[in-house]
A and B are shown apart, each in its own frame.
Chain A
Amino acid sequence: MAPKAEAAQTLASQSDASQSSIDPLFHILKIFPYSIIRPPRLRLKLPSFTLPSPMTVFALVLLTYFMVVSGFVYDVIVEPPGIGSTQDPATGSVRPVVFLPGRVNGQYIIEGLSSGFMFVLGGMGFVLLDLALDKNRAKSVKVSYASAGISSIVIAYIMSMLFIRIKIPGYLRSCYTLAMNELLMNSK
């Protein structure tokens, strides 16, 4: 409160601010140290707090969404390796494995990040589509937005389907005992 009162005093140049203020702290401070000490003339301004625009907030939200959907919390707690490895039984060389096999609720860090990127890409495709249908732009811009949007959606969808097919070998195949034995440990 003290610097605020002080700034008000310097701005109003001391004439009627002191009488019209109803702030008790201000009056106490006026008497106690500041009748003896002379405060210096400063140009202080409190930082003003402006709300960010909605689209800024949307960008931040998208970043958070990317982190959550990539399994960031999983990475922090379970600490899986960045990429897995198996040993080729025939030659003995170590080959990298990108997708953690066998479980639905498990991942390596890289696979999580790439899948999260695909999801965000798909979402951005829809946003670009909406921007393309906005009336107030040049036609070439609209066409490029529309084509970028459609291609993003298509690529994101195909890649996500590919990823999930690699991860869960029995995807969309109906042999429910197999899936059940795998998932029994994890989905309950």
Chain B
Amino acid sequence: MVGKTESQNGAVKATAAPAMNLESDLFSNFSFKSFKLKTKQQELLLRVSILGLVYILAFITRLFSVLRYESMIHEFDPYFNYRTTLFLTEKGFYEFWNWFDSESWYPLGRIIGGTLYPGLMVTAAFIYWTLRFLRFAVHIREVCVLTAPFFASNTTVVAYFFGKEIWDSGAGLVAAAFIAICPGYISRSVAGSYDNEGVAIFALLLTFYLFVKAVNTGSLAWALASAFGYFYMVSAWGGYVFIINLIPLYVLVLLITGRYSMRLYVAYNCMYVLGMLLAMQIRFVGFQHVQSGEHMAAMGVFFLMQVFYFLDWVKYMLSDTKLFQAFLRITVTSAIAVGALALGVGTASGYISPWTGRFYSLLDPTYAKDNIPIIASVSEHQPTAWSSFMFDFHILLFLFPAGLYFCFKKLSDATIFIVMYGLTSMYFAGVMVRLILVATPAVCLISAIAVSATIKNLTSLLRTKSKTAVAGSSKGTGGSKASSKASFDQSQPFQKNGAIALLLGAFYLLSKYATHCTWVTSEAYSSPSIVLAARGAHGNRVIFDDYREAYFWLRQNTPPDAKVMSWWDYGYQITAMGNRTVIVDNNTWNNTHIATVGRAMSSYEDEAYEIMRSLDVDYVLVVFGGVTGYSSDDINKFLWMVRIGGGVFPVIKEPDYLVNGDYRVDKGAAPKMLNCL
């Protein structure tokens, strides 16, 4: 780009040289034009280099744990994903799609092909095969570890385009920078966290961007692209339910505020129909788009759009307005009546299944606490306190209301969308800590709007001052104009200094944000929970690799068909690293099976022995952290085993294990606690 400018300059100078004798202001005209081109190209260069730096930054800030420990998979769920990806690359797609796994959930087994979201595994396998094709000899584990940071970088690029669509390119750049280091996103996409969300947030933002672009332009191509983006999202994460409910809600709000247009009609219809058909290709989702209560909103709005289009057409054909009013009343009433009747019949007959517990507890947060203890026990599903918000968002929490104000000031189809996305996702983030991840792109985008608008205001203050000063001094035309501007100049230097001070203040705030994000990433979100570090007695750092050593011991010292019983947290890791059959694992799809294990763990030893014989168990794995002071071991989780077991088998009663309502594990513990397995 820079080379092109120079060559153009050279060409201009070559042509101007012979003409210079003739007209001097022709030359000045040429140099003015080349100056203009240069600025535009300078701006392009600036934008591209900023985006490139943000891309690299997003990648490298997620590499703390790879540098500190080694390149390995973290936590529990990613081990299952790693195992399935390994299977996919070894055996091929058809074997993977039809896989029945007899090594987990003994003796039930698990239909893996039909109970997982294949997007992540297929993406990683695709990257692996591409690299292999280019003759890079990488191991699949490296690809799996680095998939999440790579997709985080891609998310920043999508955020830039989204910001450009909603507000302007400055907001897009700021949004990309915010998303690159925001701790709310980093927590689930750090290198080694090979989980669905790493890819799903990219797919989510891509779908939303393509849909907003389709609504803004009304083109069929963008609408179809958004349908394919939705397909990718459905294949990647169960959170696609958020998309299929937010977009109909957005369409409804547009209809209520009177922004119905042909563009909206084209965009929503294409996206809904094609997206629904594509989503049914994933076996895990199946026919839920027409059968499940969670997806009915989309269908309802689809029919409502048809009614709106029909009414518009009738209005166009009819010239009599009073007749049209009557017709309008009848049609709307009958449409709503028919819709409600269909919904009622569907729900009553059981064809449309009601909302599942996981999603219903988002709407009514007290539901899980009373009815489904296993959902309430996961620490990620707790509601959010203010400090989690502050930890994950820092100054974005201040900029979010400001950004909402700017969006409300300049309402358009796109800003209405981002406002709705922000509000709904913030509400859900308040209900469940894990969903701060879904709110992060919206908060970053809205905050970017606030930053961009504020900085634009401040720099326009600066610019008007310097522009009138330049106009007064260099051009020298319009002397009266210069003198009238000069009268303003006495009060303006104060404003100019104030604007500079405010800009410095804004720069300070943003740099504090960057410091905070890097600190949070380094301290809190970069620990593979499978390898632990602690301070020894003399202050030196001691690293515990106990988990992996235990699994490797299982792999080497037990017969290959041994069955291991443990609490469900460790199931995925045992099958992936120990390569042995387990009774229950993290998928938690069968509550009774888990309750059986919970009952075995909390009964007296002779009863437990009977249960374990009936399940064919050879080994029991228990985690104990007393020696090292590790606090999230099985003794801490024991009360959950009691609660879940007691939920299915009333034989197990929680008060048996407590002493005066207190949970103790030393000599003063309850007798049942001392004698249980």
Contact = CB atoms under 8 A, between A and B. Distances in A.
A157 B395 contact: yes
Secondary structure at the B interface, as helix, strand, loop or mixed, is helix
Interface in B356-380: 365-366, 369, 379-380
Contacts of A72: 430
Contact of A76 (B366, B395, B529): B366
B156 interface: no
Nearest to A106: B385
Contact of A105 (B382, B453, B457): B382
Given A123-B401, A157-B395, A172-B519, A188 B387 contact: no
Given A112-B385, A133-B461, A172-B515, A58 B405 contact: yes
Interface residues of A, number: 71
Nearest to A25: B330
B120 interface: no
A105 B388 CA distance: 5
Contacts of B461: 133
A70 B384 CA distance: 9
Contacts of A65: 400-401, 404, 423, 426
Interface in B415-435: 419, 423, 426-427, 429-431, 433
Interface stretch (B224-232, B240-248, B319-327, B587-595): B319-327
A62 to B, nearest CB: 6
Contact of A188 (B75, B519, B631): B75
A54 interface: yes
Contacts of A153: 398, 505
Interface string A120-141: 1011111101100100000000
A57 interface: yes
B450 A21 contact: no
B411 interface: yes
B384 A74 contact: yes
B326 A22 contact: yes
A45 to B, nearest CB: 15
A73 B430 contact: yes
Contacts of B629: 181
B408 A107 contact: no
B397 A69 contact: yes
Nearest to A115: B386
A42 interface: no
A64 B401 CA distance: 11
Given A74-B383, A74-B384, A177 B391 contact: no
Contacts of B534: 177, 181
A107 B177 CA distance: 31
Interface of B: 75, 187, 256-258, 322-323, 326-327, 329-330, 333, 365-366, 369, 379-380, 382-391, 395, 397-402, 404-406, 408-409, 411, 419, 423, 426-427, 429-431, 433, 450, 453-454, 457-458, 461, 498, 502, 505, 509, 515-516, 519, 522-527, 529, 532-535, 541, 629, 631-632, 636
8 contacts: A23-B330, A51-B258, A68-B426, A116-B386, A157-B395, A160-B397, A176-B526, A183-B524
Closest 8 CB pairs of A and B: A123-B401, A122-B398, A126-B402, A107-B385, A68-B430, A74-B383, A115-B386, A73-B383
Interface of A: 1, 4, 20-23, 51, 54-55, 57-58, 61-62, 64-65, 68-74, 76-78, 100, 104-107, 111-112, 115-116, 119-120, 122-127, 129-130, 133, 146, 150, 153, 156-157, 160, 163-164, 167-168, 170-172, 174, 176-181, 183-188
Given A123-B402, A188-B75, 8 more contacts: A64-B423, A68-B426, A71-B384, A106-B385, A129-B454, A130-B457, A167-B387, A185-B632
